[in-house]
């Protein structure tokens, strides 16, 4: 292998994975000093790789992968294959698989670096978190996960800079879900009366903003995972995303209905409950938003509905944007704010590609 060669292995080629491939193709052209060679790509059904590590065309990767008749090897076999590559390897995990996340300590201990938008590894048990960074520390492999919070927005790198330069986080607060942002910006806008809750949920699903089953957005777990990651980076050893209060917006009665479609059909029965929440905020001259917060002084993390003055930046958010405010010793009462698109293939892939650049500059 050439001295400047780095092998890229990609697991997962869905919405984010496809956008990442497009960005990787451009990167390979713009950065001739490093030879980026795609040596492995897989979905949950198929894999494409050559035993001699000869490179796969990045431009044709998706069509070659769909033409492949090879089933993905077991994860330990993939790790062995990558660890034996004749040059450095970066694994890009574009799945939301817990199994792959659980294997990060093994992967890193074999000297393979990881970049990923997958939240599972960093928001699982505190032990998995410890194992991941201990493995990276001892092998020298790198691990970055910018897009696990706020897609491509500079959230994690900003928080790391604050902490590593000696600032002290006092509070983090914000809207961390593109889906929830869209829902509340249209259900309870700062001007006008907004739509019916169930109609807005249906619209969000039709626009492709929600998970296939909207309950996976409304249960608050996605936001809880993001808060877990930020709390840990701030120095709070949160045990798991279920170890602090998380408000679910799924009515009890609909928690166990069989399908997402049935859920949407029955949701209008509960519109009056959400109307009440909206009206109560209105009486105080406020709007309701689904937010997450971390308070370092009280060591508390929470996720749920809160009321905001119309002039508050959280109330004024638009579309499916995210907003994250960092309150620190240095920034005093005027927080450092990161805001913008927090969901979507291209912006999520951008965070992954930027992470890859960070790794390339360090290995």
Catalytic member of 119, 202, 226, 286: 226
**Segment contacting ligand NHO (CB under 6 A): 113-121, 164-172, 285-293, 303-311?**
113-121
| Binding map of ligand NHO across residues 255-274, x = CB under 6 A, - = no contact | --------------------
**Alpha carbons 180 and 204: distance in angstroms, whole number:** 9
Interaction of residue 117 with ligand NHO, rule CB under 6 A: yes
Rounded Cα gap, residues 31 and 353, in angstroms: 13
Choosing from 342, 353, 355, 359, the residue that interacts with ligand NHO (CB under 6 A) is: 342
CB of 58: closest distance to ligand NHO in angstroms?
A: 16
Region label for 64, one of left (φ > 0), alpha (ψ between -120 and 50) or beta (otherwise) = alpha
Please tell me the count of residues contacting ligand NHO according to CB under 6 A. 31
Q: Whole-number minimum distance, CB 225 to ligand NHO, in Å?
A: 9
Beta-bridge partners for 36: 6
Angle at 347 between CA 36 and CA 78, to 5 degrees: 40
Q: Establish if 63 lies at the interface with ligand NHO (CB under 6 A).
A: no
Select the residue whose beta carbon is closest to ligand NHO and give its number.
14
Among 48, 78, 82, 100, indicate the residue that binds ligand NHO (CB under 6 A).
100
Token digits of residue 5: 């060669």
Q: Please give the Cα distance from 281 to 77 (Å, whole number).
A: 55
Q: Taking the CA atoms of the chain, what radius of gyration do you get in angstroms?
A: 22
Q: How far is the CB of 78 from ligand NHO (least distance, A)?
A: 9
Task: Count how many Cα atoms sit within 13 Å of the Cα of residue 225 in the half-sphere of its side chain.
Answer: 21
Residues 24-53 that bind ligand NHO (CB under 6 A): 42-44
Interaction residues for ligand NHO, span 208-247 (CB under 6 A): 222
Residue 120 falls in the annotated catalytic set = no
**Binds ligand NHO (CB under 6 A): choice among 37, 113, 177, 228:** 177
Determine if 325 is a binding residue for ligand NHO (CB under 6 A): no
Instruction: Transcribe 26-80 into DSSP letters.
Output: HHHHH-TTSEEEEEEEE-SS-EEE-TT-PPBPSTTHHHHHHH--PPPPPHHHHHH
Report, in Å, the least distance between residue 284 CB and ligand NHO: 27
C-alpha to C-alpha distances, 10 to 129, 159, 361, nearest whole angstrom: 22, 27, 19
**Which member of 147, 234, 328, 339 binds ligand NHO (CB under 6 A)?**
147
Interface ranges with ligand NHO (CB under 6 A)? 11-17, 42-44, 72, 94-97, 99-100, 117-119, 147, 151, 177-179, 222, 342-345, 348
Residue numbers annotated as active site: 226
């Amino acid at each position: 292998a050439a001295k400047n060669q780095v092998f890229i292995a990609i697991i997962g080629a869905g919405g984010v994975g496809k956008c990442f491939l497009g960005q990787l193709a451009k990167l390979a052209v713009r950065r001739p000093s490093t030879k980026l060679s795609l040596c492995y790509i897989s979905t949950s059904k198929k894999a494409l790789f050559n035993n001699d590590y000869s490179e796969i065309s990045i431009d044709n990767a998706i069509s070659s992968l769909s033409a492949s008749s090879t089933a993905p090897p077991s994860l330990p076999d993939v790790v062995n294959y990558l660890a034996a590559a004749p040059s450095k390897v970066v694994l890009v995990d574009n799945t939301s698989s817990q199994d792959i996340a659980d294997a990060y300590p093994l992967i890193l201990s074999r000297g393979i670096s990881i970049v990923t938008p997958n939240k599972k590894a960093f928001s699982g048990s505190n032990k998995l978190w410890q194992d991941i960074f201990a493995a990276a520390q001892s092998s020298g492999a790198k691990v970055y996960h910018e897009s696990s919070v706020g897609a491509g927005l500079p959230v994690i790198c900003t928080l790391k800079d604050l902490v590593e330069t000696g600032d002290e986080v006092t509070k983090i607060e914000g809207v961390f879900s593109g889906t929830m942002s869209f829902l509340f910006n249209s259900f309870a806008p700062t001007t006008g009366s907004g739509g019916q809750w169930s109609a807005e949920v249906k619209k969000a699903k039709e626009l492709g903003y929600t998970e296939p089953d909207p309950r996976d957005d409304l249960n608050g777990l996605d936001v809880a995972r993001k808060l877990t990651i930020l709390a840990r980076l701030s120095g709070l050893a949160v045990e798991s995303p279920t170890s602090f209060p998380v408000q679910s917006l799924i009515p009890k009665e609909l928690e166990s209905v069989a399908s997402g479609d049935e859920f949407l059909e029955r949701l209008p029965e509960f519109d009056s409950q959400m109307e009440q929440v909206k009206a109560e905020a209105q009486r105080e001259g406020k709007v309701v938003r689904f937010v997450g917060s971390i308070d370092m002084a009280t060591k508390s993390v929470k996720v749920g509905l809160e009321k905001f003055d119309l002039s508050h930046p959280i109330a004024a958010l638009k579309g499916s944007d995210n907003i994250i405010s960092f309150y620190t010793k240095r920034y005093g009462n005027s927080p450092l704010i990161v805001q913008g698109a927090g969901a979507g293939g291209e912006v999520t892939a951008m965070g992954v590609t930027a992470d890859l650049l960070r790794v390339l500059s360090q290995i």
